[in-house]
Amino acid sequence: MAVKVCVVTMVLLFCCCTGIGAGGDQAADDVLCLGSPDYGEALAKAILFFEGQRSGQLPANQRAKWRGNSALTDGRQENVNLTGGYYDAGDNVKFGFPMAFTVTLLSWSAIEYRGDVAAAGQLGNLRTAIRWGADFLLRAHTSPTTLYTQVGDGNADHQCWERPEDMDTPRTLYKITADSPGSEAAGEAAAALAAAYLVFKDDSDKTFASLLLTASRSLFEFGNSYRGSFQSSCPFYCSYSGFMDELLWSSAWLYRATKDAKYLDFLSDNQVSSNPVNEFSWDNKLAGAQMLATQEYLGGKTELARYKANLDSFVCALLPNSGNVQIHTTPGGLLFTRDSVNMQYTTTAALVLSIYSKTLKASGDSVRCSAANFSSDQIASFAASQVDYILGKNPMGMSYMVGFGDMFPRRIHHRGSSIPSIKVLARTVPCNEGFSSWLPTSDPNPNVHVGAIVGGPDGNDHFSDSREDSSHSEPATYINAAFVGACAASMGQKKQLEEPSIDLAPTLSSSY
């Protein structure tokens, strides 16, 4: 790995420019070698994003001031309280499956990078973001064999362009039960609550943590005992990878939370296809389960050895010049899985790579691919290069996080952001007016949704910043949730690499 050192305004900076990060493209290397972005600022804004996605009664300390209360009667038609939680993206539906994944990733970030997040002054805000989603999941699990998985009619919602505060589309309820199971949704909710338990277990208020763990155990038993795919009981965010990845993922989290041998036995006794996995997403959790199991294997649980081998295959599929690469990078060095909300796969891959590099460093291990051996530092640097790309070190010189840097998306595909705040335009903006007046305009969004990370550029690093191009301009909670941990890891890596400031002559201010 060739590492370049950049000298910028009299401070020696290490730039995370690696031979594996740009496929040997010198121009791309030079684009990336511009000095590190302000990770602390990016982390704070990535977490702030979740306040703009809130549903329900907003608290007095709400920081995204352009938002107001919304969906205050969710669940009433079935006498349950389903208020709160998050709108997943630019629409006004609450999808429990990806919401739970979001909570799991935020919790994982808080667990693995607690010190870095705290150093940035963001641990309290991150915990608040986790609790806002976890509270909803607790309310949605209304009996041992019932989990509400969606609030709102997705088809009707997508036919309207209106602020969440103005919603008049049906708040239809969807749920999984013993008669209509969805093991994926139950398993992911179990994972989310077990991970959240690990975040809150040392608090003085033990009641909340106890509720999280009890519900997590219950949801795992529900999903495992009444096996059935969510694909047959959901209208949106249906699973295509099957349910075993969620059951393995949740059992790994429950073992980490409880050390109960039955969850370790579940990991040891159950095995999925050995075919390579090349994504980690709201649908496919296998790489995440492999990561957690590998940590346990390196901690002495030798019966989980196969998980490390499978995880190494996942990592090799991502790393350029590995000889096993399946996910290619754009000319500018961005991991590119598909031309539709690609950033969700970039951020989740960066999170797994970051956590694995940390685990490898602690154990003194590495990853062997067919063409090369990769050290923990090399893997960490490649993960950081993905964070840096998102924050502006790319061929367009554009940050894909709203409100970060001077150049960022101004016309994101987001209803609440694109229509003036209800605090500015107090009247109701009906469905059709939104479509005719606010969706098609080329004007920037009136509300800057700070921290929102959009779907991202195409495979040639191009981005049109068009509100109507949802696959590239729409943000989503699970993009930001993965980014939080990857960004915190990059911040920690930068601290390790920085040397004391050196008083250099001003004439060197832009040299390499």
Residues 189 and 18: their CA atoms lie apart, in Å, by 38
Backbone φ and ψ for 98, nearest 5 degrees, come out as -70, -25
β-bridge mates for residue 175, sequence order = 148
Q: Is 413 designated active site? A: yes
Q: Which residues, 6 or more positions from 154, have their beta carbon under 8 angstroms from its beta carbon? A: 91, 93, 235, 236
β-bridge mates for residue 75, sequence order = none
Q: Is 158 designated active site? A: no
Residues 104 and 195: their CA atoms lie apart, in Å, by 6
Residues 366 and 359: their CA atoms lie apart, in Å, by 10
Sign of CA dihedral 91, 97, 103, 105: negative
The one catalytic residue in 29, 51, 74, 91 is: 91
Q: Is 465 designated active site? A: yes
The pairing of strands 11-14 and 5-8 is: antiparallel
Backbone φ and ψ for 406, nearest 5 degrees, come out as -90, -25
The one catalytic residue in 112, 116, 465, 472 is: 465
Give the SS3 label for residue 56.
Answer: strand
3-state secondary structure 98-137: HHHHHHHHHHHHHHHCHHHHHHCCCHHHHHHHHHHHHHHH
Q: Is 78 designated active site? A: no
- Cβ atoms within 10 Å of 34's Cβ, excluding its own: 17
Q: Which residues, 6 or more positions from 479, have their beta carbon under 8 angstroms from its beta carbon? A: 341, 343, 344, 347, 453, 455
Sheet with 173-177, side-by-side order of all strands: 94-95, 146-151, 173-177
83: nearest Cα among 65, 61, 102, 59: 59
The one catalytic residue in 51, 162, 388, 474 is: 474
The one catalytic residue in 153, 312, 377, 413 is: 413
Residues 384 and 477: their CA atoms lie apart, in Å, by 20
What are the residue numbers of the active site? 91, 413, 465, 474
